[in-house]
Amino acid sequence: MTPTARILVTGGAGFIGSHVSRALLASGRQVTVLDNLSMGRREAVPEGARFVHGDIRDRAAVSDALTDIDSVIHLAAQVTIRGSFDRFYEDLDTNLMGTANIVRSIDPARVRWFTLASSMAVYADCPAPMPIAEDYTTQPLSPYGVGKLAAEQVCRQMLATAGVPLTVLRFFNTFGPGQSYTPYVGVITIFVTRLLRNEAPVIFGDGEQQRDFVHVGDITDGVLGSLGRATGTFNLGSGRSTSLNALSRLLCDRLQAGAQPAHEPARDGELRYSVADVAAARRAFGYAPSRTLETNLDDVINDVKARPSK
């Protein structure tokens, strides 16, 4: 058995976690999912995975989930930038202290690898829509980014002391099927949902802010590709930039020709330009994102259409 054969996926009932769990099972690994189902769905946990219903801040639940585990992929988090201002305590409690609880609970004699999902929100704003590398200034604009950066630092220090290899993966704006609709997270899912309801998409600010939209399939490939192979910190994105105005036009043309977005004032905490330089991940473990907005938007559209109307 490989050293990464029995894997705990925290947040494995969620959007990215359920995709990662399915891919791990398909690769022949044994998978345990720990999720409190606050955003995840029990039916998203793939058949064949052991499921532990619990919170990452609960030491008993974490201890149960770590039984016979040799690797951890830590994806569970409160994922909202704007919402982290209103709920900064809960956000930090989950994303920082929840991570610390997992780190203190692992047995370094058993756990051979730790993968931490971080975020582009750890970076300072960029003055232009150019790809930024992992050594770009880390100066978060939101409590969410602060918590993610602190979680990275805790993992680096404590896992190095324990002798457990660590991979930190900074995800950029991930899209694809299976993302739950909320007003705060996942602009593509939000825009698609509103257009299918005959509502205008809402853009905060002038819409010329640039984002790196990366398909969940490419994120999953990066998570599995790095597992057991590359320690360090790596961006996972597409390496391409798209403005929110361009995204809105693309979706309006597909779903509601002639529709126009509504604009509201810009919100605190959101980066103006956020585009990934993925050269380090390419060199370290062959990361090669291949999906694009133009060819994979139907993944999201069909997924949203298939959901029960509310």
Closest CA to 73 of 101, 104, 31, 121: 31
DSSP code of residue 25:
H
In angstroms, the CA 229 to CA 210 distance is 31
Question: Rounded to the nearest 10 degrees, how much is the dihedral formed by the CA atoms of 241, 198, 79, 107?
Answer: -100
Determine contact, residues 73/7, Cβ cutoff 8 Å: yes
Determine contact, residues 243/210, Cβ cutoff 8 Å: yes
**Coil, strand or helix at 178:** coil
Determine contact, residues 32/11, Cβ cutoff 8 Å: no
Total number of residues shown for the chain: 310
Known catalytic membership, residue 144? yes
**Coil, strand or helix at 305:** helix
In angstroms, the CA 189 to CA 164 distance is 36
Which residue of the set 89, 123, 136, 144 is catalytic? 144
One-letter amino acid identity for 130? M
Closest CA to 172 of 129, 117, 229, 97: 117
Give the active site residues.
144
